[in-house]
A and B are shown apart, each in its own frame.
Chain A
Amino acid sequence: MIELNNVAYSYGGGELLSEIDLTIQPGDFYFLTGPSGAGKTTFLKLCYGDLTPTAGEARLFGQDVRTMDRDAHAMTRRRIGVVHQDCDFLDHLPLADNVALPLTVSDRNDLEQVANLKELLSWVGLKQRAKALPPELSGGERQRAALARAVIMSPDLVLADEPTGNVDWEMSQRLLQLLIELNKMGKTVIIATHDMNLIRAAKAKVQARVLRIANRHVQLAGADL
């Protein structure tokens, strides 16, 4: 699904990430941890092709990122749901339209999907806010909306960048539960977080592996948490 072979990335200074060798299989559930500024967001961007490795090779669904054209990237994005850390929305459209955006831009806005949308919005507790504009939402509401938007296309892979950063414990449990359920349906999930409690809570419910970024390297952490 995602293959990283000896990947390194640098924003122009020294290398931020080096020698990443990792293969992510369908159905995997990963946590990605590391201190702030370690490169979690950068790693996720490499995984959805927003950044091209400065060294090594990244393959998404078998395709080398370097050889993909813009349309190929667009098609790949439809198979990967991304929850951005800074949750970008179209501020002039109501929340429901923003959540449905991936369907709209891929011309899949049919009736069945509209039913899905309602269900999804009530799942993330935003049914009452469907008509609100993004700037009117709280940080937590934005994160829930971003998660709903990331999963509405029923993607093969969900990447979530600190999805629980702005929500209370109870809501973070619900978001986690949604991601776990997606994983049980066969989706691959990668969650970047520095919330150890969240990881512990998840480990009780799902076979989750933990990647830790330390000293520019991404390593699989042991079972001890």
Chain B
Amino acid sequence: MKALLNNIIFVFVGDAQADRMVPPTGFTARLTLFASAAMAFLAVFAIALSLASGRLAQRWGQELAQSSTLRISAPAEQMAAQTAAALKVLETTPGIAQATAMSPDEQRALLAPWFGPDLPVEDLPIPQLIAIEETPEGYDAAGLRLRLQAEVPGAILDDHTRWRKPLQQAAGRLRLLGLLSIGLIALVTAAMITLAAQAALAANAKIIAVLRLVGAQDSYIAKAFVRRFTLRALYGATAGSFVGFLALFLLPAAQEQGGFLTGLGFQGLSAAWLLLIPILAAIVGFIATGTAARRTLKELR
């Protein structure tokens, strides 16, 4: 624990001397910076995706579970009577908080995206819709269907579970895919940094031999490399995630009808993530370089 703390302090405060022992190699520096920037950029979207789909799944689960629709198809002259009968049944059903028949205006608004705003709803044989809000406990859908069958023959109850389930499942999968992508991004970053660190160690084999000759321990030599690559991963990832956030921020704001896209925006992707991505990248860099250095040094004399 104390050693870990020392390492962290070292990375940020630095050991100017250990650092000077090894001249920086431009190629590995650029590779590490670029790789961690690109990976952080991708990580922003993977995180946004899993956050959004998580939120979506939750919202669909909550909102839709609390509401259902009753559709009444009847000849025009019976419509009013059947609607009244249905409302009566609904009002006396335990577990239903509120049942409201939609006005022609509301129905027109619902249909407008498909038929245009000038639809003469009153003259068309379209069904009457009743919006039902449940209490948190919910109602017995099967019992309600039986009662409606007897008293309002033209009513069809749609309690949304039928299409809610697969949507919720899809959102859950999407979230899983997002998390998987984050894991893959971390692995690829580690691999790239490992390769870059190994290249740097190989390029400096002669310097390492001199340091060994005068009594440097592996840990001392590794330090110079670890610090450098950790900082590069940190800087690269900071730039990459900043650009990624900017890109998300500049997405056109989702409209109310945006459906799925409503959730994919910037909202909920708090500033904490902007900090977390570079820190995670730095940790990945620290571990990857440390491992690469220890392994490579063991193979050198």
Contacts and interface: CB of A to CB of B under 8 A. Distances in A.
Contacts of B23: 92
B210 to A, nearest CB: 5
A89 B206 CA distance: 9
B247 interface: no
A88 B213 contact: yes
B209 A88 contact: yes
Main SS class of interface, B: helix
Interface string A105-127: 11001000000000000000000
Contact of A90 (B210, B212, B220): B210
B17 A77 contact: no
A68 interface: no
Contact residue range for chain A? 20 to 34
A128 B210 CA distance: 24
B214 A149 contact: yes
A177 to B, nearest CB: 24
Contacts of A97: 20
A205 interface: no
Given A50-B301, A88-B206, A92-B23, A102 B17 contact: no
Nearest to B204: A90
A153 B215 contact: yes
A137 B209 CA distance: 21
Interface in A146-191: 149, 153
B217 A90 contact: no
B79 interface: no
B207 interface: yes
A102 B215 contact: yes
Of A50, A84, A90, most B-chain CB atoms within 10 Å: A90
A70 to B, nearest CB: 6
Interface in B285-301: 297-298, 301
A73 B210 CA distance: 14
B17 A90 contact: no
A105 B215 contact: yes
A74 B217 contact: yes
B246 interface: no
Interface in B186-233: 206-207, 209-218, 220
Nearest to B23: A92
B207 A90 contact: yes
The winner among B209, B212, B213, B297 for most chain A CB atoms within 10 A is B213
B276 interface: no
Given A71-B217, A89-B210, 16 more contacts: A50-B213, A70-B297, A74-B215, A75-B215, A88-B206, A88-B210, A93-B21, A101-B211, A101-B214, A102-B214, A104-B21, A105-B21, A105-B215, A106-B215, A109-B17, A153-B215
A153 B215 CA distance: 10
B226 to A, nearest CB: 16
B218 A101 contact: no
Nearest to A104: B17
A70 B17 contact: no
5 contacts: A50-B301, A70-B297, A90-B210, A93-B20, A149-B214
